[in-house]
Chain A
């Protein structure tokens, strides 16, 4: 099975600057319509199958707000 990844956004720290969204090489992210508790639109992983786990979004986030992790298979 293809490896899949999840994106965790720390909504306490995300400023909604969109740098992750702009730079994602596979355009896997989108900006959510909902508001975070800080009153901004946070990014979210829109297309799980596109994300290749390159971590560029995580490395580029100026506020340590994104962490990319490998999806752990529930069924072994």
Chain B
């Protein structure tokens, strides 16, 4: 059954792509951030991209530490500003593959305005935004993604603000590629990250990642098993959602109505910033 063993082994992958001296990661037991790193590296390997032509950029947060583990050029920048640095890198050398790791606090909170305008510009970046419903690194303050009722250190009696749907924002701004996944199943996000990297223009991949330390414990999800199970119980594949909404019984529809949809949510074509820019240069040059 050689097909079962097709992707590189974890040992081969880490030897090729990971800074050995940085391992193991600083992430807590049961944190899903390591999975985001693995899946991204498996996706890169699938595409056979030359690591010398890849730059990883991140902001600040547990999720933003991911760039530091990859044995490529990279920048660990300031909180919320990863996309500005990434845009600069891409504008200076459009041949580079630029991948951004960011968090819900980093990318949608303090960096929310940068997210908006980087998508609007359609910079050719792949942004892997980790949504763990919380500011993990600083001890669990509420994020723009914390669900209504969610307990955090800044909402000890329950959050009263609506959570932001980051993918819906990206879709409204017509990002060419938008997807959302859990880390529970490896193959769909690996395939999707590869699609995002290959995509011309802005690709947003929102990864729903369990944070047992700063979110789970306070919200009735103590222990690795329970918080990982929550993501199985509270998400639904987009295809299944659409099928049930069209053909399912009333009970089936009620059951999935409020679940978080995962899958490829948008996949289209749109000229990206460097193509527009190249055309402009061609048009106005003397």
Do these two chains really belong together in a complex? yes
B10 close to A62 (CB less than 8 A): no
A53 to B11, CA, bound (A): 16
By the criterion CB–CB under 8 Å, are A59 and B186 in contact?
A: yes
The answer to whether A63 and B224 have CB atoms under 8 Å apart is no
- Residue A48 at the B interface, CB < 8 A? no
Contact assessment for B5 and A53 in the assembled complex, using a CB-CB cutoff below 8 Å: yes
Interface size on B, residues (CB 8 A): 29
Interface string of A9-23 (1 = CB under 8 A from B): 010111111110010
**Chain B residues with CB under 8 A of A17:** 29-30, 224
Q: Which residue of B lies closest to A53 (CB)?
A: B4
Main secondary structure of the interface of B (DSSP, over half): helix
On whether the beta carbons of A16 and B224 are closer than 8 Å, the reply is no
| CB of B12 to closest CB in A, whole Å | 8
User: Would you list which residues of chain A between 17 and 76 have a CB under 8 Å from chain B?
Assistant: 17-19, 22, 53-56, 58-70
B18, A56: Cβ atoms closer than 8 Å: no
B25 sits at the interface (CB 8 A): yes
Instruction: Check B14 for interface membership: any CB of A closer than 8 A.
Output: yes
B220 part of interface (Cβ distance < 8 Å): no
Q: Count of A residues near B, CB < 8 Å?
A: 29
CB proximity of B212 to chain A, nearest CB, Å: 9
Min CB–CB distance A28 → chain B (angstroms)? 15
Contacting residues, chain B, for A55 (C-beta < 8 A): 4-5, 7
B138 within 8 A of A: no
Choose from B1, B13, B33 the contact partner of A3 (Cβ within 8 Å).
B1
Kindly identify, within residues 32 to 71 of chain B, every residue whose CB is under 8 Å from any CB belonging to chain A. 32-35, 37-38, 42
**When the two chains form their complex, are residues B25 and A62 in contact, meaning their CB atoms are under 8 A apart?**
yes
CA A13 – CA B11 in complex, angstroms? 11
Chain A hits for B1, CB < 8 A:
3, 53
Q: Which residue of A lies closest to B32 (CB)?
A: A62
Are A61's CB and B10's CB within 8 A? yes
> Among the interface residues A13, A63, A66, A67, which one has the most CB atoms of the partner chain B within 10 A?
A63
**Any A CB within 8 A of the CB of B31:** yes
Is B92 interfacial (CB-CB < 8 Å)?
no
Q: A70 near B5 (CB under 8 angstroms)?
A: yes
Q: A64 and B11: CB pair below 8 A?
A: yes
Given contacts A63-B23, A64-B18, A67-B11, 5 further A-B contacts (CB under 8 A): A3-B1, A58-B9, A59-B10, A62-B38, A64-B38
18 inter-chain pairs at a CB distance below 8 angstroms, sorted by A residue, are: A3-B1, A13-B23, A15-B24, A15-B29, A18-B225, A58-B9, A59-B38, A59-B42, A60-B35, A61-B10, A62-B33, A62-B35, A63-B23, A66-B10, A67-B9, A67-B10, A68-B9, A69-B5
Residues of A within 8 A of B (CB): 3, 8, 10, 12-19, 22, 53-56, 58-70
